[in-house]
Amino acid sequence: MAVERTLSILKPDAVGKNTIGKILDRFESAGLKIVASRMTHLTQAEAEGFYAVHKERPFFGELVRFMISGPVLISVLEGENAVALHRDIMGATDPKKAAPGTVRADFAQSIDENAVHGSDSLENAKNEIAYFFRATEVFARTR
Ligand code: UDP
**Alpha-helix runs per DSSP H in the chain:** 12-16, 20-29, 44-50, 60-67, 82-90, 103-107, 122-132
| Number of compact structural domains in the chain | 1
Catalytic residues: 117
Q: Judge contact between 72 and 10, C-beta under 8 A.
A: yes
CATH code: domain of residue 53: 3.30.70.141
Calpha distance 127→16 (Å, rounded): 27
Calpha distance 84→72 (Å, rounded): 22
The best mutation among 110, 114, 116, 127 to test binding of ligand 1, ranked by most ligand atoms within 8 Å of the C-beta, falls on 114
Q: Is the pTM of this model over 0.90?
A: yes
CA of 117 to the centre of ligand 1 (A): 9
pLDDT for residue 143 is more than 80: no
Domain that holds residue 43: 3-137
C-alpha radius of gyration, the chain, whole number? 14
Q: What is the pLDDT of residues 83-107, one digit of tens each?
A: 999 999 999 999 999 999 999 999 9
Backbone angles phi, psi at 112, to 5 degrees: -90, -25
Collapsed DSSP state (helix, strand, coil) of residue 108: coil
Instruction: Give yes or no for residue 117 CB within 6 A of ligand 1.
Output: yes
Looking at this predicted complex, what is its ipTM? 0.97
Q: What is the pLDDT of residues 2-12, one digit of tens each?
A: 999 999 999 99
* Within-domain flag for 36: yes
CA of 124 to the centre of ligand 1 (A): 15
CA of 143 to the centre of ligand 1 (A): 36
* Within-domain flag for 43: yes
Annotated binding site for ATP: 11, 59, 87, 93, 104, 114
